[in-house]
Chains A and B, each alone.
Chain A
Amino acid sequence: MKWIYRIYHFYRDGFQGMGRLGKRLWLLVAIKLLILFAVIKYFFFPNILEEHFSNDRQRSDYILQQLTQGD
């Protein structure tokens, strides 16, 4: 268990001793991930096949239908 404690301290000390630039970058990463996952992914990028069909059989049938209907 000592190694978990050491790893924890390694990261904690790393973050605490971080310069202004590092902190700005982490803030930027956090904001970006928030926008990407909580806004863009959630509101604009539904997984079409997951949302419209409840199982793989239905998904296969739908894609086969798309492939066999032609243009």
Chain B
Amino acid sequence: MEHLDPSIVDWSRAQFALTALYHWIFVPLTLGLTFIVAIMETIYVKTGDEWWKKTTKFWMGLLAINFAIGLATGIIMEFEFGTNWSNYSWIVGDIFGAPLAIEGIMAFFMESTFFAVMFFGWDKVSKKAHLLSTWLVAIGSNLSALWILVANGWMQHPVGMHFNPDTARNEMTDFWALVFNPNAYSKFLHTISSGYVLASLFVISVSSWYLLKKRDIQFAKRSIIVAASFGLVVSLFNLTTGDDSARQAALHQPMKLAAMEGLYEGNAHASLVAFGILNPEKKPGDSKEAFLAKLELPYALSLLSFHKLDAYVPGIDQLVYGDMEKGIMSAAEKIERGKDAVAALTAYKAAKKAGESAKAAESLQAFEKNSHYLGYGYLNNPLDVVPNVPLTFYAFHTMVLFGGWFILLFIIILYFSMINELNERRKLLWIALFSLPLGYIAQEAGWIVAEVGRQPWAIQDLLPVHMATSNYTSTPVMTTFWLFAVLFTVLLIAEVKIMTAQIKIGPKGEDHV
């Protein structure tokens, strides 16, 4: 693009990352806590034990705080689409329209109806009707996430669409291909299950605090049993969905997988790096070692990526420089084809304007031939296809390490809960208390893997980020970046303050929502 202020790309990117990362502090807890609350209320309805009602209402109060403070933090990203990412918004408009409209309508109706029954309806509707509303809030808020992730999954693996060279828009040709995009549903399941893990950690962490303070012991123990049982099941599920997400990356975003694993040199018996320290001097194509130190699981990367011990996993070098033997096209070749697609699109536009229909048809044919490489036409250097390897690698390994720790923690907590010795294990309670921040770090690390790992693409292979940005000045974007940084920090402080105040009041307090 001509006259594009280069800093607009960085500021727009930074602003989107800031808002998405802050938004993602609130959302996963809501997704998971709705289910935990629904399980607790189900126990109440089944047993008729008023203790469970009190327990449910307490956690529902904390859910309300998180929901109210997180509410509409995501809408900012939609503002950003129209201002900072207008090219992108136009190009994806037809694809994003349907899922985001469904999400908006669903969120509005579910939230205004069933949330109201959940909070206002305790003594107004029957127990079963109230329980149904609580479950519908849980299901509805999770389905809301589905549509967002359908849109995101499409960006990572665009399917069910066709680029219209007359309107410059991707038009949906198959709605179900979009919905059942394997990338979208693996991402959806991994994302929501990670939210359930976080909510389980939250309940365990807060309950551990009560046990450490030797107050509300019965309430805390009961809450821990529900959260640890739920947490263990969902964390194991999260492990399988994570495996599927990595497999999707292997199939459709091999560069992302290579960056996640710090894999520069592809091989047929690829090992999985369990722990590793990357060599900061390493660059694609050189002969330096990729790691200063590492601990590997032999064959595991081949096995997990393609379900075969001897499957070939391409590395960054192969994906940049190509490998004829393995049938991997170099980035330089893709860039050339992309430039051919851009040139054909330019010729098509000129021929249409001049009314030369034969030339337009010929140009269109040339464009269609290379349209899958269109995005590469806007790159200048083959190394542009490599994302930030250290950030992707460390974020991925942090997420996996903490994910493994959470499974272990749930097992230990559940074991000591079952033998009724949990409140005597004070060190374990302290560990459980401080595992909550790790849950949040894992959540944010997951977002970084998904989004940094797919750079330079806004839409995989079709639109690089710098082409998605508006031709706009960076000053207002910088201003709003700092404005959001302040606003979100205030909201986060408010969340922590109100939440801790409510936790200190405890389940016996009458000040429920």
Contact = CB atoms under 8 A, between A and B. Distances in A.
A36 B61 CA distance: 25
B72 A69 contact: no
A64 B79 contact: no
Interface string B52-81: 000000000100110011011001100110
B427 interface: no
Nearest to A59: B90
A41 B80 CA distance: 9
A36 B75 contact: yes
Contacts of A68: 342, 345-346, 349
Contacts of B69: 25, 28
Interface string B329-364: 000000000010010011001000000000000000
Contacts of B89: 49
A17 B502 CA distance: 18
Contact of A60 (B116, B166, B491): B166
A69 B380 CA distance: 14
Contacts, number: 124
A41 B513 contact: no
- Could you say which of A18, A20, A33, A49 has the most chain B C-beta atoms within 10 Å of its C-beta? A49
Given A18-B513, A40-B480, A60-B168, 20 more contacts: A10-B124, A19-B512, A20-B511, A21-B61, A25-B498, A28-B494, A29-B72, A33-B72, A36-B72, A40-B76, A40-B79, A48-B472, A60-B90, A60-B166, A64-B349, A67-B342, A68-B342, A69-B1, A70-B378, A71-B466
Contacts of A24: 498
B453 interface: no
A40 B483 contact: yes
A32 B119 contact: no
A32 B346 CA distance: 45
Ordered nearest first, which 7 A-B pairs have the shortest CB separation? Answer: A14-B120, A47-B82, A45-B79, A25-B68, A63-B168, A48-B86, A68-B346
A45 B512 contact: no
Nearest to A39: B483
B154 to A, nearest CB: 19
Contacts of B513: 18-19, 21-22, 25
A45 B166 contact: no
Contacts of B221: none
A36 to B, nearest CB: 6
A48 B472 CA distance: 9
B68 A13 contact: no
B167 interface: yes
A54 interface: no
Interface residues of B, number: 56
Interface string B480-510: 1001000100010010001000100000001
A3 interface: no
Nearest to A52: B86
Given A21-B512, A66-B1, A14 B119 contact: yes
Contacts of B80: 45
Given A14-B116, A19-B512, A49-B89, A25 B345 contact: no
Contact of A44 (B467, B470, B479): B479
Contacts of A15: 120
13 contacts: A10-B121, A14-B121, A20-B511, A35-B487, A44-B476, A45-B480, A46-B82, A47-B86, A56-B167, A63-B90, A63-B168, A68-B342, A71-B1
Contacts of B510: 19
Interface in B432-455: none
Contacts of B471: 66
Interface string B294-337: 00000000000000000000000000000000000000000000
A14 to B, nearest CB: 3
Contact of A45 (B82, B120, B168): B82
A48 B83 contact: yes
Contacts of A50: 82
A48 B148 CA distance: 23
B49 interface: no
A56 B93 CA distance: 12
Contacts of B199: none
B169 interface: yes
A33 B73 CA distance: 9
